[in-house]
Structure 1
């Protein structure tokens, strides 16, 4: 990873903080970047320092694009942006008063309507300046693994034809693209007094909104009933094709993010990092493999494609 300026140097680069009482602490939970809480005259802010090596490895969008998308997302459900330090690169954003959701909370049926509302608000906002496609990201990360001789999980390439079937089914009747977060693990949801807010736009881009929901389902390990509830709350519709679309994207999320953790383990993670990227890659691939090998996958493909599953 590239050298990051010292926190003392970073604090001096924010003009509005110079000469004021400043306290700071490193925030835990970020898997790629360097995140700090900074209290200035007892007013809390978040200093998000972006690691260029992350986007260089295909693990995030370019820092300047992430910052631009963060600014746009602030118009809907994102934190307000107070300062941009493009040469670092870093951004000073609002410290949202609220509670970071846990994986268990995201699985509670009573929170799902608030999550769906937050997604709809983001998706109705201004378009981002870049696009995101989970299958294109898979191809990109496969190329990174090949160039750096990173080992793939057992059976990964052998299931490529099934992944291609997912891609083809989902491409047949695409939903209108919307500005999406694309990485909504529980820790990126903040429950506040005025609803759920969304932080961390490292992988953001315009995308099929059904992927957003499928990715939430993958990260929180939703069962089909919870997927159906999330889809119904978001779309205000219980249509089987929409529900199946979200479930297919749940599979695609696990398939591709398996490689994200594989690359992070091989190229980015240092010995001092507590998070086990290799174990996370193995867990995601286990979930993906189970879904890809499930005999019921054909029914989901048929529902999304609008055909009878017994008559291809």
Structure 2
């Protein structure tokens, strides 16, 4: 697929650099660019995000993404935006020293604590330019899948009544929205802690960002990273301090919302993305998690605890 036109970026104009691919990215390609020449301002160390595919199918607003990335930097949760070129589908952000987390890293209580702290930092910061509602997004994604004839797992529609019940429970106990990333899988946490375990975790990739229920943020990470029930409780406690049963139940319901909604993202990508990746299986895994919860014994209790406080 080649590389983006880096020579057209103002922040790299007239300079020489070396570039390497960064792993990850299912709707974009990421590049680490470091200048090599002498310059009064010193070397530049940046990440260039090159957007790919049809963003409208997935509900991505690139202008909001750039604006929210900059806002997240103001809160101290994310990297600074250095340049935004929508005409080139490029967003340039500062390079963060550190490493992307993996699912197994959350087994370390200190990593879990730093990740929760990063969430609190983002959520306490300035509001984002737009909102995010997984119920509205799921409806839009489902309409796209059906209108275009994309593959959908047999039985997906069987859960519509239960899905409506989850929506009623969460909306009847509405909480104030806060700026959320909404896509915090492990790779979107950058941990700059050294061998002594100090430092902080940063949050990256704001394609799906918007003001949302903070419990969706926690639930999305919990399911994406395969948290055990004990890890979910520990993560919720690290975020809230002294969570109620309603807090924990709300996060567990939002795990379900993440699974059922984002599974459709996978089925759309399977049909439309130019990236060589098994998006259908990605979506199927999330759907099967959601279906297990819809059919399982815990859903009525979770609904009751969210509505009545447990």
Q: TM-score, normalised to structure 1's length?
A: 0.91
Matches within 5 A, 1:136-285: 136-193=136-193, 194-270=199-275, 273=276, 275-285=277-287
**1:296 aligned to which of 273, 285, 298:** 298
User: 2:113 touches 2:235 (CA, 8 Å); kept in 1?
Assistant: yes
Q: Distance in 1 between matches of 2:309 and 2:94?
A: 48
Aligned-residue offset at 1:123: 0.5
Q: Distance in 1 between matches of 2:226 and 2:130?
A: 28
Do the aligned partners of residues 215 and 21 (structure 1) sit closer, same or farther apart at CA in structure 2, a change above 3 Å counting?
Answer: same
What is aligned with 1:7? Answer: 3
Q: Distance in 1 between matches of 2:256 and 2:25?
A: 24
Matches within 5 A, 1:38-187: 38-41=33-36, 43-51=44-52, 53=54, 55-57=55-57, 59-75=58-74, 76-187=76-187
What is aligned with 1:32? Answer: 27
Moved more, 220-229 or 243-252: 220-229
User: 2:53 touches 2:274 (CA, 8 Å); kept in 1?
Assistant: no
Do the aligned partners of residues 209 and 216 (structure 1) sit closer, same or farther apart at CA in structure 2, a change above 3 Å counting?
Answer: same
Structure 2: 5+ residue stretches without partners: 37-42, 194-198
**1:16 aligned to which of 8, 11, 32:** 11
Aligned-residue offset at 1:307: 6.8
Structure 1: 5+ residue stretches without partners: none
Q: Distance in 2 between matches of 1:109 and 1:262?
A: 34
Q: Distance in 1 between matches of 2:274 and 2:155?
A: 24
Q: Distance in 1 between matches of 2:160 and 2:108?
A: 33
User: 2:145 touches 2:268 (CA, 8 Å); kept in 1?
Assistant: yes
Moved more, 201-210 or 186-195: 186-195
User: 1:215 touches 1:253 (CA, 8 Å); kept in 2?
Assistant: yes
Aligned-residue offset at 1:261: 0.4
Aligned-residue offset at 1:18: 2.4
SS state at 1:184 partner: coil
Q: Distance in 1 between matches of 2:29 and 2:247?
A: 37
Q: Distance in 2 between matches of 1:150 and 1:52?
A: 16
Aligned-residue offset at 1:107: 3.9
How many residues were matched structurally? Answer: 298
Q: Distance in 1 between matches of 2:159 and 2:264?
A: 14
